[in-house]
Amino acid sequence: MRDQYHDELDAITASLVDITRLAGSAINRATQALLDADLQAAESVISGDAAIDQLYADVEARAMDLLARQQPVASDLRTLITSLRMVADIERMGDLALNIAKVARRRYPASAIPSPLHATVLEMGQVAQRIVTKCSSVIAGRDLEAAAELERDDDVMDELHKRLFTVLLDPGWKGGIESAIDVTLCGRYYERFCDHAVSVARRVIYLVTGERVAAAEF
């Protein structure tokens, strides 16, 4: 019975890895949709969000079931509570990729991102992809070193986010208000996507060590 219980805990971790990979695929396709005005890619992200939502609901249901049936204590309780919080972060990452895809669909057949900003937004998409890939590895291996690296990785995204605003606030900006709104929204979505990945990494550190990590310490 106890072996089955720990198998179920392991299955929850595996599902967390799966949902993180889905979020990574979503942000990759959303970036493609945004920059290339790729309607098919946008639609695949939008329709694919249902799979992320379903995994989220499954993880939540299994964790709550184990809490009710097993009444875990100590590290097992920490695993379940932390898993519930992590899956909420990851599901939100999927929602942010979904939001980017919706911007792309709304502006089709044009690209929502003006050509002078394509390189910056492409880099934001690449950084987001690297961060979510590392996040998946952190969950799977409970890798504390990689978890600590994610905060530094996120600094790159923060700098790119600032770069967008530098262009938008320049008096020479000729992209118009509508385009500026699209760029502002998408920049925020990428930035928040990575913030949630960092939050997951902090939760993994807590899961392994039992110690909470403040942003300034991470």
pLDDT digits (tens, 9 = 90+) for 48-70: 999 999 999 999 999 999 999 88
Counting as low any pLDDT under 70, the low residues of the chain are: 1-2, 214-218
The predicted model scores a pTM of 0.94
> Cβ(112)–Cβ(103) under 8 Å?
yes
**What is the residue type of 65?**
D
Burial level of 201, CB count in 10 A (0-12/13-18/19+)? buried
The pLDDT value recorded for residue 215 is 59
In which residue are the tokens 């909420």 written?
A: 88
**Distance (Å, rounded) from C-alpha 123 to C-alpha 112?**
16
Q: Which domains does the chain have, with CATH numbers?
A: 2-217 (1.20.58.220)
What is the model's pLDDT at position 216? 47
What pLDDT does residue 74 have? 83
